[in-house]
Amino acid sequence: MRKPENQIILIFGASGDLTKRKLVPSLYDLYDQNLMPDKFAIIGASRSDLGDANYRNEMKEGIIKFALSQNKEKIDDFLNSVFYQSVDAKSIDSFLALKNRLQKIMDELQVAEKIIFYLSTPPSLYSVIPENLAKVELNNEQKGWKRIIIEKPFGYNLETAKELNASLKLNWKENQIYRIDHYLGKETVQNVLVTRFSNGIFEPLWNRNYIDHIEITSAESIGVEKRGGYYEGSGALRDMIQNHLLQLVGLIAMEPPSSMDSESIRNETEKVFQSIRKMSEKDVHKSVIRGQYLSSTVKGEKMLGYREENGVNPESKTETYAALKFYIDNWRWGGIPFYIRTGKRLPTRVTEAVIHFKSTPHFLFQNKSINNGSNQLIIRIQPDEGILLKIGMKVPGGGFNVQTVNMDFHYSELAHQRVPSAYERLLLDSMLGDSTLFARGDAVMSAWEFLDPVLTAWKNDKSIPIYGYPCGTWGPEVADELIEKDGSTWRYPCKNLADDGIYCEL
């Protein structure tokens, strides 16, 4: 891996949870692997009145708790490059002071004006900060490049996403804007590309002739935790599907790119998003299910219902579960259903994509019910990252009984290879100027275009139900019908509640 050139990383939202849990620990992990620039500074910026020393102490706690590698001496060395500047995001004077501080640090370090601005702030500041940076000419690339990284959610719906994009484009070029989606930083998500395009055996089968349907599940056993306020304005569709799961769909469904450069890959995912069939209000009734977790007792533990969580309206209609069936109208996927579901307070934490292949045209053997002559390729994104192929095998002994067995690869078997965290990978790429794993503006808009009719129908049509589901279950039962009426079932990666948190393959 290449080492990035000397530069400055400025994080707005410096005292927030993401900075402490993910960003600074990931930057330290890069430092530990000698993947930070020879000369760099990390400047935390937020409203709080902190000094460098206090901020370093706070970040030290984060590193000790959340970094993958722990080396006391290196942590202290690394922290010498961490600074803090109090900034009021709405005040130009504050930005002028920030610019002076930046200049001072760059002069001391003898680093050119190459700066990443990471926006880890509430979304209401996503247009304000870039605009104010531009007012003090910190978008100016005459003396060195400038990049902004924007966290999700990118907009609240199609209209606000367009407004945000337009406001950014007033002062920043597309190649300066990095829209981060941490799912694209996950090793196993990137491995979808390698599995598909480095093996001759999958691609010929990867189409409507051999695939029956595709299923993607992203389940979490946790609830909304301390993020009730944020989640109330978001919901599962905006929080997980608009970005993470659709990006995964993009990689699974795309055509082979002509090369691995950022534009070729992002062109292909964008084509997928454009081909997803838009839903009418009638389709929303038929093909989308939303749910909300109810208070329940799981394994003796009393769990709050969503409406009882802090920061949540007691009559809230925000979904904590969503399941969708949709089609991609192109030659590769015409007529093949895609089913995706995500939810909080489900039995376990698991994200996986299942490619269900069509069954054999004629089944010769006994025990048809066991695998029905069909195979599944399961791409386990997390936890226990890996790939599993289910195939039929003869049961030893008389007759021709068929049993489904697993060809199972676990990433952990590559134990000598350290698996970098998603943020580590994405921060390194942004420092290197590689935007392949960042969402392009047009793709974000296309993803909203697909989901906007669902959000509008949910908002306007009071007859669309939101189903309750007890914590620790796989969501509302009607979501089962979504797939069962087509003759299939969801895969339940872990049916047994006693195994909560542990991936158990059935």
List the interface residues with ligand BG6, window 259-298 (CB under 6 A): none
Report in angstroms how near the CB of residue 3 gets to ligand BG6 at its nearest.
Answer: 27
First to last CA, the chain: 38
Report in angstroms how near the CB of residue 330 gets to ligand BG6 at its nearest.
Answer: 28
CB nearer ligand BG6, residue 130 or residue 153: 153
Residue 118, φ and ψ in degrees, nearest 5: -100, 120
How many helices and strands in the chain, by DSSP H and E? 17, 17
Q: Single out the residue of 136, 46, 114, 55 nearest to residue 86, CA to CA.
A: 46
Report in angstroms how near the CB of residue 229 gets to ligand BG6 at its nearest.
Answer: 13
Report in angstroms how near the CB of residue 239 gets to ligand BG6 at its nearest.
Answer: 5
CB nearer ligand BG6, residue 187 or residue 239: 239
CB nearer ligand BG6, residue 304 or residue 328: 304
Report in angstroms how near the CB of residue 423 gets to ligand BG6 at its nearest.
Answer: 10
How does strand 301-303 pair with strand 296-298? antiparallel
**Opening angle at CA 385, ends 340 and 422, nearest 5:** 85
Write down the catalytic residue from 182, 244, 285, 356: 244
In this structure, what token pair is assigned to residue 290?
């939303």
In this structure, what token pair is assigned to residue 296?
């329940």
Report in angstroms how near the CB of residue 262 gets to ligand BG6 at its nearest.
Answer: 22
Residues in contact with 114: Cβ distance below 8 Å, sequence separation at least 6, in sequence order: 5, 6, 7, 8, 144, 145, 146
Report in angstroms how near the CB of residue 340 gets to ligand BG6 at its nearest.
Answer: 14
385 in contact with ligand BG6 (CB under 6 A): no
- Could you tell me how many residues of this chain bind ligand BG6 (CB under 6 A)? 3
CB nearer ligand BG6, residue 18 or residue 478: 18
How does strand 40-46 pair with strand 82-86? parallel
CB nearer ligand BG6, residue 234 or residue 371: 234
CB nearer ligand BG6, residue 58 or residue 220: 220
Residues in contact with 360: Cβ distance below 8 Å, sequence separation at least 6, in sequence order: 373, 374
SS3 labels along 218-263: EECCCCCHHHHHHHHCCCHHHHHHHHHHHHHHHHHHCCCCCCCCHH
CB nearer ligand BG6, residue 239 or residue 452: 239
Cα→Cα distances 103→6, 99, 138, 143, 150, Å: 14, 6, 11, 12, 23
- The 165-204 site mask, x for binding ligand BG6 (CB under 6 A), equals ----------------------------------------
List the interface residues with ligand BG6, window 333-372 (CB under 6 A): 351
Q: Is 410 a catalytic residue?
A: no
Number of Cβ within a 10 Å radius of residue 413: 10
Report in angstroms how near the CB of residue 231 gets to ligand BG6 at its nearest.
Answer: 7
CB nearer ligand BG6, residue 220 or residue 309: 220
220 in contact with ligand BG6 (CB under 6 A): yes
Residues in contact with 350: Cβ distance below 8 Å, sequence separation at least 6, in sequence order: 217, 218, 219, 380, 382, 383, 493, 494, 503
The CA distance from 342 to 355, in Å, is: 17
- The 231-260 site mask, x for binding ligand BG6 (CB under 6 A), equals --------x---------------------
Cα→Cα distances 362→93, 200, 206, 374, 403, Å: 75, 26, 21, 11, 17
SS3 labels along 358-411: CCCCCCCCCCHHHHCCCCEEEEEEECCCEEEEEEEEECCCCCCCEEEEEEEEEH
In this structure, what token pair is assigned to residue 366?
């006994």
List the interface residues with ligand BG6, window 400-459 (CB under 6 A): none
Report in angstroms how near the CB of residue 318 gets to ligand BG6 at its nearest.
Answer: 12
Residue 358 exposed, middle or buried by CB count within 10 Å (0-12, 13-18, 19+) = middle
151 in contact with ligand BG6 (CB under 6 A): no
CB nearer ligand BG6, residue 195 or residue 382: 382
Nearest residue to ligand BG6 on Cβ basis: 239
Number of Cβ within a 10 Å radius of residue 235: 22
Find tokens 């109330």 and name the residue: 232
In this structure, what token pair is assigned to residue 141?
């690339």
CB nearer ligand BG6, residue 239 or residue 283: 239
The CA distance from 325 to 339, in Å, is: 4
Report in angstroms how near the CB of residue 149 gets to ligand BG6 at its nearest.
Answer: 15
Q: List active site positions.
A: 244
**Binding positions for ligand BG6, rule: CB under 6 A:** 220, 239, 351
